[in-house]
Structure 1
Amino acid sequence: MLRPTSFLTKLALWVAAANAFVVFIPDDQCDPTGHCGPFTKTTRKHGGHSARSNGGEVVTFPLVARPRQVLDDESEPFDRVAVAIARVAQKFGGPPAVRARSQKDDKNYVPGNQYPISHPIKPISEGSTGIYQYGPDFSYFIRVELGSQKTPLYMLLDTGAGNTWVMGTDCTEYACRLHDRFDTAASTSWKPNQADDFFINYGTGNVTGVVGWDNMVLAGKTVNVQFGVANHTAEELRHYAFDGILGLGMGHSVTGSFFKEVRQQNALKPIVAISMNRDSDGVNDGQATFGGIDPAKHVGEIKYADVTTEHKAKGEWVIPIEGFAFDGKQAKLNSTKAIIDTGTTYIFGSPPDVAELFKLVPGAKLDEKPAYTEYIVPCDTKTAFKVTFGGVAYEIPAKDWVAQVEDDKCLSRIYGYIELPSFRPGEWIMGDVFLKNVYSVFDADNGNMRIGFANKAAPPKPTSTGNTGAVATGEDGRPVVPGSTGSATGETSAETVTPKTVSGGSKVGGVAFTLAWALVAWAMMAV
C-alpha cells in the first residue's frame, strides 16, 4: 500500500518550481496507520504523539510540522501511551486537542496560533530581533507587526525565495483559522495593488490572495513594503507553525521583493545576519539582525564567498561549495554549488554525490525511497562532516546530522533528491542542519551578493530563577526557556530562566523539557 506521504512527496517535488517551500516527510516519520510526525523513537513505535516537539525529529523540506491532534474515535484505536503524552502536552502548553472533523468543519472555531513555540531572548543590539522556533530545530521565524494596528504575526525566514505573504482574515479554511491572520480592512495604512493578485503553487496545494502595501515593523524598524495577503491556503499549511513567509531572496517575486524594496527606499541595507538556536543548547538565543552585523553573535572573522555570476543575475543565494569531508577524507563530488537556504531544514544533494559522502561513513547503508535516498547509519557515530566555503571548513556535528528514530536505528538527515526538477543538477541545498552551526550573513549591499560565515558565539546557559540575576525575557516580554509556547499574542507557559554568558562550548538541555518527560513517565504509569 502506498502511504499518503509517498504520493504527496512525489507530487510536491514534481510541480514545485522555484518557490522554495516544498513538503518533504520521510517515511520514518509515519506510523503504521499513515499518520506522520512529529514522533520520537518511542511514540512512533506505539503510534502516539509527542508531548512536546522536543524529543523527536520532524522531517521537513523545508519545514513541516504537524500539530498534535486527537483523531476521531473510530479512526484510531485507544493507545495508553498516546493518552498519557497528550495529557502532559496540554499541561505544558501544546496546541489544543482537536476533534479532526467537528472543529475542522466548524467555521466558528478560530483558535488562532497555538502551536508550541520556543521564544527567544530579547536582543540588545540595534536592528536585531529574536528568532522563534517550532521544533526542535526545524522551523525558524521572526515576529513582525503589520498595519496601523500593528498585528503581530510569525513569518518564516526564507532565503530560498523572494515571495512574502501572510494569512488574511478573508481566508476561512481550517489551515488559516489555526493561525493568526492580518485584517486589511482594519488597517488604515493598507493600500491595495489593484492590478495584482498572487498565486503560488506549493506542490500539495496553492496559496492565493491579494497584493498591497502596508507598514511592517521588524527588529524595531518600520518599513513600507509590498506583500501578499492570502484569502486561500492549501490544507497542508495547517502543519506549519508560522503565519506567513518573509522572502529574503533577491530574485523574481509574485508578491514583491522585501530586500529590493527596502533598498530602493533607502530604508534598510539589504543585509541580514542570522544565528539559529539549537534547541538542545538550552535558552533560545536565536537572532536575526537586519541592515548590519552583531559582533557579539560570532567568534573570529567572517569569511565571505561571492554569489556566482549566474545566480547573482537571478537574485539567488548560491555560492561555490569547495569540499565535503568525513573523518579527514574528502568526498569526490560532481556538484560544485550550494543554495544556502534558511527555509529548508535539512541538507540535500544529488544521489550520486550523497552516495560519495556515505562511502566515507563506516557502516552506512543506503535506503532508497521512490522520491529520495536516505542512509541508515550506526547510532554510535560521533564524527562530524566538514563542508568548505570560502576556503574555510565548517563542522556539522553528528548530533545534527544523525537522528535516532528507533531504539536500534539511526538515520542521516542528509538526503539525496531523486525527483527535484526545480533544482538544477549540480547544486546542493544547505539548510538548517548546517546553518545552526554558523553565524551566517546574507549581504546584497552596494550591488553585490555574497554570503559570509563565522563560528557562532557560545549560547547562554540556563539556570534556575532561584539564582541571583534578571529573568530572561523575550522581545514580547515573556519568560524564555527552550520550548516555551504560545501564539504571537498569547501567554508563555513555562519555567523562567536566567541567561548567563559562558566562554566554553558546553551544551545543556532544557529544564522544562526534562520535567515534561519526567511527568510523561509518571502519567504512563498512572494510566
Structure 2
Amino acid sequence: MLVLSLSTVAFLGLAQLADASGSPSTGHRRRTAGGGQAMNLVRSAPNSNEWSTQQWGHWAKTQKSSLEAKYGGAGASGTGVQKRATGTNYMTNQNGDSSYFGSLAIGTPPVSYNVILDTGSADLWLAGSDCTTGCSGVATFDPSSSSTFRNESSPFSITYGSGQAAGFLSQDVVQMAGFEVQNQIFAVCEQVSGGLLTAPVSGLLGLAFQTIASSRAPPFWETLVTEGAWDEPVMAFQLTRYLNVSGVQTLEPGGSFSMGFANSSLYTGDIDYVNLPVTGSYWVLPITSISVQNQSISPPSGQQAYAAIDTGTTLVGGPSSYIAQIFQQIPGSAPGTGDFESYYTYPCDTDVTVALSFGGRTWSISPADFRLARLTQRECLGAFFEIDSGGSSAPSWIVGDTFLKNVYSVFRYSPASVGFANLSAVALAQNGDASGAVPSATIGSSAARVSATGSMLPKAHRSAGIKIGCGLLYATSASLLITIAVAGVHSVLL
C-alpha cells in the first residue's frame, strides 16, 4: 500500500496455516495451468446484510481515515538459486471481499502465518510472541523456536492513521508458494494498537518496491525476481467476489496469487500492460478516462491522474471533485453525512457501471462491486469515496479490490508495468461459489531457494519512527469492530 494505502477492510475469521513453502491447499499442492505450484488466497467478508446503518457508518469513516493515513506519509544481493520456477498462493476471502490473505512460513522448522498480500506497501511484518498489546488471539512469531533466526537489533516502528506497531527488525528463512529466501529481513512487533490485527491474520506481506520499505530492506518478492528465481518477472492476482452474497461465510475461497507467471487458465485474450510513469515505489498508473453509465466525465490530468493499484485496499478513493462528477451521473445520489462524509449514497434500484482506463483498454466495474452496502431499503452506499492526498507525493487515487475483482491483474517488474486482462469462465465461476473450499496449508519443500542478503541503510540513517501508510482495515464479524491491520508500509489498507 502506499503511505496511506487504502484501508482495506478485512473482516478476519479463522486462522489458516500456510506451508513451509507458503502454499496452502486442500491437503495437497495444487498444480496450475502454467505448470507451477499454486498458493490459495482466502477471502474474508463481512456479514454486510446484518449490519446497521450506524455500523456501516463507523466502518466507512474508519476506512477513509485509514486510507489517508496509509498514503499520507513518505515512504540485496545473493546467490544460490537452484532453478527458476513458478508458484501460486491460493488465497482466502474474508468477510465478503473485505480483505484477501494468503500464507507463508518462517523459520527452521517452518511455521505458517496468514498475511495480507499488499501491493501498496513493501515490508513483511508479523506480531511477535512477546507482543504485549493488540495481539490477543493472533498467531505470533516466536524467535526462540527457529534455529535460523537472527535479531538485527534495530528498532522498527510504523505509525498509521489509526494506530501504531513497534518492535525490531530480524532475519530468518521465509518460504512461500515453493520459494525460499534464506535471510529475509522482516519486523517482529511487540506492541500493536488495539484493533490493528484480527485473527487469523498475523501480519502483512508488502509487494511494492524496496524504496518505500520502512525497513529499507529488499521485499521478499523483489529478491526472488532480481535473483532469477522466477520464470518471468511477474506476479498476478485473481480475486473472488462474495460481496452481498446471501449466506456468505466469514472465510471463503479468495482466488490466487501467482508468482513468476500469469495463469492462462484464469484470463482470456492478451494482457494489456501499461508502463509505470514513475518507477521504484508504488504500482502507479495514470487514469486516462472515466465513464459512468456510459457517460464520460472529464479525466484527471498530471499527478491528479496517478492511481496506486493496491490489492491491500478494499475500495476506490480519489479527489473530491472527480468523485462528485462520478455520482452526478447517478440520478438520486447524494453526499453522505456524519460517518458517511466523503462517501455518496444512491438509489438501490439503480445498477451503476463505472469504467476506467489507464492508457490502454477500458475496464468496467460490476454494479455488484460498486454497491458497497444497502443502508436502508432504498438507499445504498457507493464504493468510491473522496480522499485527500494532502499535497504529498502520494498518488491522488487508490484503486483497490472494488476494481481488481473485475480483472486479472499482473504486476511486472521489468519493464515496470501493470497489466490487466479479462477474467476467464474458470475464474468467474469462483465468484459466490457456495461449494468452494477454503484452502488449508501444507508443509512442503521449496522449489527454488535464494540466499539473499537484506541490504539496509546504515543504522545511523534509519528512523525508529517512520510514518508509513501501511495497514489493513479489518472488522471482525463477531464484534463488528473495524480495526486496522498493519504490516510493512501499509497503514490502513484492510
Q: What one-letter code is carried by the residue in structure 2 that aligns with 1:325?
A: S
C-alpha distance 253-48 of structure 1, shift in aligned 2 (>3 A)? closer
User: 1:44: which partner in 2?
Assistant: 52
Distance apart, 1:199 and its partner CA: 0.9
Which structure's residues are more often strand, by fraction? Answer: 2
Greater CA deviation, 359-368 or 295-304? 359-368
Contact 1:21 1:202 in 2 (8 A): no
1:232 corresponds to 2:209: no
Q: What one-letter code is carried by the residue in structure 2 that aligns with 1:277?
A: T
SS at match of 1:131: strand
Distance apart, 1:61 and its partner CA: 3.5
Distance apart, 1:58 and its partner CA: 5.7
Q: What one-letter code is carried by the residue in structure 1 that aligns with 2:320?
A: P
User: 1:261: which partner in 2?
Assistant: 223
User: 2:455: which partner in 1?
Assistant: none
Contact 2:9 2:99 in 1 (8 A): no
User: 1:181: which partner in 2?
Assistant: 140
C-alpha distance 209-296 of structure 1, shift in aligned 2 (>3 A)? same
Contact 1:176 1:238 in 2 (8 A): yes
User: 2:82: which partner in 1?
Assistant: none
Which of 179, 190, 203 aligns to 1:221? It is 179
User: 2:104: which partner in 1?
Assistant: 144
Distance apart, 1:228 and its partner CA: 0.7
Contact 1:141 1:156 in 2 (8 A): yes
Distance apart, 1:415 and its partner CA: 0.1
Find the aligned partners of 2:265 and 2:50 in 1 and give their Cα distance: 39
Contact 1:278 1:436 in 2 (8 A): yes
User: 1:133: which partner in 2?
Assistant: 93
Superposition map of 1:503-518 within 5 A: none
User: 1:451: which partner in 2?
Assistant: 418
Task: Tell me the alpha carbon deviations over residues 251-274 of structure 1, each in whole angstroms, 9 at most, x when there is no partner.
Answer: 321232313333343334652101
User: 2:266: which partner in 1?
Assistant: 297
Contact 1:23 1:204 in 2 (8 A): no
Which of 239, 243, 259 aligns to 1:276? It is 239
C-alpha distance 423-346 of structure 1, shift in aligned 2 (>3 A)? farther
Contact 1:159 1:341 in 2 (8 A): yes
1:61 corresponds to 2:19: no
Superposition map of 1:411-490 within 5 A: 411-418=381-388, 420-421=389-390, 424=393, 427-445=396-414, 448-458=415-425, 459-460=428-429, 474-476=439-441
Contact 2:122 2:212 in 1 (8 A): yes
Q: What one-letter code is carried by the residue in structure 1 that aligns with 2:241?
A: R
**TM-score, L = length of structure 1:** 0.64
Task: Tell me the alpha carbon deviations over residues 411-430 of structure 1, each in whole angstroms, 9 at most, x when there is no partner.
Answer: 11100124x42754872110
Contact 1:63 1:138 in 2 (8 A): no
Structure 2: gaps spanning 5 or more residues:
11-44, 67-84, 443-494
Find the aligned partners of 1:451 and 1:298 in 2 and give their Cα distance: 15
Superposition map of 1:306-455 within 5 A: 306-308=275-277, 311-312=278-279, 314-334=280-300, 335-368=304-337, 372-402=341-371, 403-418=373-388, 420-421=389-390, 424=393, 427-445=396-414, 448-455=415-422
Q: What one-letter code is carried by the residue in structure 1 that aligns with 2:166?
A: T
Contact 1:148 1:188 in 2 (8 A): yes
Q: What one-letter code is carried by the residue in structure 1 that aligns with 2:228?
A: N
Find the aligned partners of 1:23 and 1:422 in 2 and give their Cα distance: 22
Find the aligned partners of 1:21 and 1:208 in 2 and give their Cα distance: 21
Which structure's residues are more often helix, by fraction? Answer: 1
- Bigger radius of gyration, 1 or 2? 1
Distance apart, 1:150 and its partner CA: 1.4
C-alpha distance 276-41 of structure 1, shift in aligned 2 (>3 A)? closer
SS at match of 2:135: helix
Task: Tell me the alpha carbon deviations over residues 352-377 of structure 1, each in whole angstroms, 9 at most, x when there is no partner.
Answer: 01111111112211225589511110
User: 2:5: which partner in 1?
Assistant: 20
Distance apart, 1:233 and its partner CA: 1.0
Contact 1:323 1:330 in 2 (8 A): yes
RMSD: 3.4
Residue correspondences, number: 372
Task: Tell me the alpha carbon deviations over residues 300-320 of structure 1, each in whole angstroms, 9 at most, x when there is no partner.
Answer: 110000000xx21x4221011
Find the aligned partners of 1:375 and 1:264 in 2 and give their Cα distance: 44
Distance apart, 1:63 and its partner CA: 11
Distance apart, 1:136 and its partner CA: 0.5
Find the aligned partners of 2:266 and 2:102 in 1 and give their Cα distance: 17
Question: Alignment identity in percent?
Answer: 26
User: 2:446: which partner in 1?
Assistant: none
SS at match of 2:268: strand
Q: What one-letter code is carried by the residue in structure 2 that aligns with 1:192?
A: N
User: 1:206: which partner in 2?
Assistant: 164
C-alpha distance 189-24 of structure 1, shift in aligned 2 (>3 A)? closer
Distance apart, 1:207 and its partner CA: 1.0
Find the aligned partners of 1:426 and 1:229 in 2 and give their Cα distance: 29
User: 1:166: which partner in 2?
Assistant: 126
Q: What one-letter code is carried by the residue in structure 2 that aligns with 1:346?
A: L
Q: What one-letter code is carried by the residue in structure 1 that aligns with 2:122?
A: G
Find the aligned partners of 2:377 and 2:433 in 1 and give their Cα distance: 31
Contact 1:62 1:346 in 2 (8 A): no
Find the aligned partners of 1:263 and 1:275 in 2 and give their Cα distance: 20
Find the aligned partners of 2:201 and 2:175 in 1 and give their Cα distance: 17
C-alpha distance 456-474 of structure 1, shift in aligned 2 (>3 A)? same
Q: What one-letter code is carried by the residue in structure 2 that aligns with 1:434?
A: F
Contact 2:288 2:299 in 1 (8 A): no
Larger RCO: 1 or 2 (CA < 8 Å, sep 6+): 2
Find the aligned partners of 2:90 and 2:434 in 1 and give their Cα distance: 22
Find the aligned partners of 1:62 and 1:153 in 2 and give their Cα distance: 28
User: 2:117: which partner in 1?
Assistant: 157
Greater CA deviation, 133-142 or 281-290? 281-290
SS at match of 1:181: coil
User: 2:206: which partner in 1?
Assistant: 247
Q: What one-letter code is carried by the residue in structure 2 that aligns with 1:265?
A: E
Task: Tell me the alpha carbon deviations over residues 288-342 of structure 1, each in whole angstroms, 9 at most, x when there is no partner.
Answer: 011221111111110000000xx21x42210111111012211113332211011
Distance apart, 1:236 and its partner CA: 2.6
